[in-house]
Amino acid sequence: MDKIAAYLKRIGFTGKPKRNFDTLHALQRNHLQTVPYENLDIVRGVPISLKIEDIYEKVVTRGRGGYCFELNALFAWLLRSLGFKVTDYMARFLKDEPEIPMRRHRVMLVSIGDEDYLCDVGVGLAVPRKPLPLTHGKVSRQSGEKYILEKDDFLGNILYDWKNDAWSRIYAFTLEPQIEQDFTAVSFYCEKHPDSIFRKQDMVHIFTDTGRKSVAGGEVRLFGEIGVEVHKPASESEYHGLLRLHFGIDL
C-alpha cells in the first residue's frame, strides 16, 4: 500500500478522491473524527519533529495524533499530493485571550477554482468540520454550530463561533504565505518555553458524529446529544485505557 492510500485508510476515506469541494469536505471531516488533536508528547518531553516523514510515521503508521504544526502540515501534504492548491498561513489564537497574542497556530487556505476555503484539522476545540469559504460576514451552520469570518484592519481574517448567544473569537490570520521554515521557531516555543500552554497539562480532542471527546483537567469528557459524560481515572493505567478506548492512542 502506498503512502497516500495508507493515509486515506487511516482517516477512513473510501472511494476515489477528486479535486473538488465534496472530496475536500470529506477529507477534513474524516480527519477530525479519526486523528486526535493531542499534546501528549510535549507534556512527556518526547521531541516533536516537523519533518513530514516523521509526522507521517507518528500519525499514519503509529496511529497517534498531534497538534497544529504537525496535523495541518501533514494534511496540507496530503492535499497537495492529491492535486489541491494549498497555501499555508500563521494565525493568532484569540480564544480566551485578554490581549492580542503571538502567532502560534498553523492554518491553510485551499483553492478550488476561484474560491478559497479555510481548512483546519489542528485545533483542540470546536472548529468548522466543513471547509469555510473565505467570505466575510456569511454565517456557516455546521453540525448545530455557527461560524463566521470577519475582516479586521490589523488582525486580518477573524474566525468566530456562536457561543452563549454571542460571537466569540477563535483565531485570526493575515494573508501572508508561510513556508515550512517559518513554523519551526514558533513550534519550538510551544514545545519548550515554560510559559507555553502546551506544556501545562494533557490536551486531547477528537470529533464524533454526535459531538466530541476531550481530555482536560485530568478528566475524559464525552460530549453527545444528551449531555456530557465525565470519567475521572483513578490511576495512570486506567487513564491510558481511556486514551486507547476513546482516542485510539496507545502510550
User: Hey, what's the cell of 15?
Assistant: 472511494
Tell me which amino acid residue 100 is: I
Q: Who contacts 207 (Cβ-Cβ below 8 Å, separation ≥6)?
A: 32, 33, 129
Tell me which amino acid residue 167 is: W
Contact 160, 170 (CB under 8 A): yes
Contact 173, 90 (CB under 8 A): yes
Strand partners, 139: none
Contact 81, 99 (CB under 8 A): no
CA distance 114 to 123: 27
Strand partners, 119: 108
Q: Which of 31, 41, 116, 120 is catalytic?
A: 120
CA distance 158 to 181: 24
Q: Which of 31, 41, 105, 161 is catalytic?
A: 105
Q: 105 catalytic, yes or no?
A: yes
Q: 120 catalytic, yes or no?
A: yes
Q: 114 catalytic, yes or no?
A: no
SS (H, E, C) 96-145: CCCCCCCEEEEEEEEEECCEEEEECCCCCCCCCCCCEECCECCCEEECCE
- Report the sign of the C-alpha dihedral through residues 127, 130, 136, 137, in that order: negative
Tell me which amino acid residue 152 is: D
Q: Which of 68, 119, 190, 205 is catalytic?
A: 68
Q: Which residues are designated catalytic?
A: 68, 105, 120
